[in-house]
Amino acid sequence: MCVVTKNLEIPRRALAIGAHPDDIEFGAGATLAKWSEQGCEVSLLICTDGSKGTWNPEVNIKDLITTRKSEQLLAAKELNLSGKVIFLGEVDGELENSTNLRKRVTLIIRNLQPDIVLTHDPWKKYRLHPDHRNVGCLALDALVAARDPLFFPEQNMPPHRPKELLLFEAEDEDHFEQCEGFEKSKIQALLCHQSQFESTMGIGSSDIDSGANSFREVELSKLDYSHIENDLLLAEGFKRISEL
Ligand SMILES: [Zn+2]
């Protein structure tokens, strides 16, 4: 039987690793806002440049990359995050879990020393987007490398072993973070990603207000886990991996 846990002790530092601008807010935005308010230093690592995130084939790619970066920074402000927002800048849709990239992410983990790492569940069934799978694997492999001293010794950094790993958009959710009072921050942060209104959020340009309202309702309904436990009316669900 699956054991459900709730509400980890507030970490001192957390690092969320996502494939694209907006992924982390979808997966863990309310949890990160909650932890931030309690004094946790939350940093974000965005692995790709988001350069394929539009349905407009005429778009200027450089402008899109700049826009998505600034939207991500705004979203981090909306969540009141006090850590860093780091952009790896890999090409959207083409990220590979290479040794070189794993080395870069390992160095970031060793530098930031997070108590908790959050990322995509790489084992989510039937997921189409390769970046979500590959970033999940990249983050996990980098975590393993960061904790053991014989991986990338040329970094000349002490190893760092996070205490917990939380996978968002998870196949088998077994941990929940209650987030009453932080659902609005999550949704406002998501709405900072205006370039994604049409392609990701279903908000048409003809009536942005009503589209945004529908989006709010859908996102709020996703936070309702009361079918699992009564007190999980507003929560985010994760797969939790401890004893790393
Ligand atoms: Zn994504």
Domain locations in the chain as residue ranges: 9-242
What pLDDT is attached to residue 23? 98
pLDDT confidence band for 147 (50 / 70 / 90):
very high
Q: How much is the average pLDDT of 206-228? A: 94
For ligand 1, the distance from its centroid to the CA atom of residue 122, given in whole angstroms, is 13
pLDDT for position 1:
55
- Cα(87) to ligand 1 centroid in Å equals 14
Rounded percentage of the chain residues whose pLDDT exceeds 70: 100
Instruction: Please tell me the distance between residue 145's alpha carbon and the centre of ligand 1 in angstroms.
Output: 24
The answer to whether 27 touches 168, Cβ cutoff 8 Å, is yes
Q: Which residues contact 10 (CB under 8 A, 6 or more apart)?
A: 35, 38, 39, 40
pLDDT at 189 over 90: yes
Would you say residue 2 has pLDDT above 80? no
Of the spans 30-39, 48-57, 208-217, which averages the highest pLDDT? Answer: 30-39
Separation of 19 CA from ligand 1 center, angstroms? 5
Residue 244 has pLDDT above 90, yes or no: no
Q: What is the mean pLDDT of residues 38-54?
A: 97
pLDDT of residue 206: 87
| pLDDT-derived band at 243, boundaries 50, 70, 90 | confident
As a residue count, the chain comes to 244
pLDDT at 52 exceeding the cut of 80 = yes
C-alpha to C-alpha distances, 198 to 10, 81, 108, 215, nearest whole angstrom: 35, 26, 33, 11
Between the CA of 98 and the centroid of ligand 1 the distance, in Å, is: 19
Cα of 20 from ligand 1 centre, angstroms: 5
Question: Rounded distance, CA 43 to CA 32, Å?
Answer: 9
Sheet holding 13-18, edge to edge: 5-6, 175-178, 235-242, 164-168, 116-120, 13-18, 41-48, 85-90
Q: What is the pLDDT of residue 165?
A: 98
Residue with tokens 């980098």: 142
Query: Mean per-residue pLDDT for 30-47?
Result: 98
State the average pLDDT over residues 19-43: 98
Nearest of 101, 76, 65 to residue 24 by alpha carbon: 76
Residues having C-beta closer than 5 Å to ion ligand 1: 19-20, 23
* pTM given for the model: 0.97
- 235: burial class by Cβ within 10 Å (0-12, 13-18, 19+)? buried
Express each pLDDT in 63-77 by its tens digit: 999 999 999 999 999
| 158 alpha carbon – ligand 1 mean position (Å) | 32
Q: What pLDDT score was predicted for residue 220?
A: 96
- 23 C-alpha to ligand 1 centroid (Å): 5
CA 13 to ligand 1 center in whole angstroms = 23
The alpha carbon of 34 and the centre of ligand 1 are apart by a number of angstroms equal to: 22
- Interval between CA 124 and ligand 1 midpoint (Å): 13
CA of 168 to the centre of ligand 1 (A): 12
Q: Select from 212, 171, 213 the least CA-distant residue to 194.
A: 212
Q: How far is the CA of 66 from the centre of ligand 1 (A)?
A: 17
pLDDT at res. 205: 86
pLDDT band at 3 (very low <50, low <70, confident <90, very high): confident
Q: What is the largest CA-CA distance in the chain?
A: 56
* Ligand 1 midpoint to CA 214 (Å): 21
The pLDDT of residue 41 is above 60:
yes
Give CATH for domain 9-242: 3.40.50.10320
DSSP state of 21: T
State the distance from the centre of ligand 1 to the C-alpha of 29, rounded, in angstroms: 14
pLDDT (tens digit per residue) in 225-238: 999 999 999 999 99
Residue 118 confidence (pLDDT) above 60: yes
